[in-house]
Amino acid sequence: MQKQKQRSAQPRARGGDNAHPPQFQPTIIVSKKLRFQASASSARTLTVKSFADLWCVAATTTSAYQLASHVRVKKVEMWSPMAADLTPVTCRIDWTGSASVGGFGKSNRVSDTSMGASSPAHLASRPPANSQISQWCEAASTNEVCRIDVPVGTVIDLTYDLVVRDDASALAVTGAVAGATVGANYIRSLDSVTNTTLVPVSYSTI
């Protein structure tokens, strides 16, 4: 009984057991799904920077900067419609593992072929588990993530995470910028690092 009385007599900090505000994580992490459509048949190599360049802000009418400091690709899903003459078409993604960066993990190829007028080619794929490309990557990196091969009209859904840049550094996007509105946010083409055939759907783009 005496010990219980001594414990209850001790003063308690207001707001719980801590006398000061608890630590917190100020870094902003955003999970986002973006949709693109192939305006032409495309065979593209996509790098880390291809994904980091997607969400950007215009600094001038001819320049834009990444809003992400790091990115992590979670999932890619594709639908490829049958050709007009009903010839089967194939879509493919080739996760290149870590060979280009000397890390760890394996490559993995996934493909699907359309069958019939009402059955488009469809695939849904994630980076190989425990591979370097399945983890957080620095936005400036030009290391290869995957290669995709898609027929015209293919719809591509990309699900990825990004860390919003929270310092004074800025990294310009790769590729030409024209007609931008200063201060506006844009979504770039998925292949803007190399070309512009995988255009975003329902977003302003430059």
* Residue at 152 is within a domain: yes
Per cent of the chain over pLDDT 90 is: 63
Please check whether residue 4 lies inside any domain of the structure. no
* pTM of the predicted structure, to 2 decimals: 0.85
User: How does DSSP classify residue 112?
Assistant: E
Decide if 2 is inside a domain.
no
Q: What domain count does the chain have?
A: 1
CATH number of the CATH domain containing 66:
2.60.120.220
Residue 144 covered by a domain: yes
Confidence of residue 8 (pLDDT cuts 50, 70, 90): low
d(CA 34, CA 54): 9
Q: Is residue 12 part of a domain?
A: no
Residue numbers of the domain that contains 87: 27-200
* 13 in any annotated domain: no
Note the pLDDT tens digit of each residue in 49-95. 999 999 999 999 999 999 999 999 999 999 999 888 888 999 999 99
Integer distance in angstroms from the first to the last C-alpha of the chain?
A: 74
Q: Is residue 7 part of a domain?
A: no
pLDDT range class, residue 6, cuts 50, 70, 90 = low
Q: Region 39-49: what's the mean pLDDT?
A: 93
Q: Is the per-residue pLDDT at 102 higher than 60?
A: no
Amino acid at 71: V
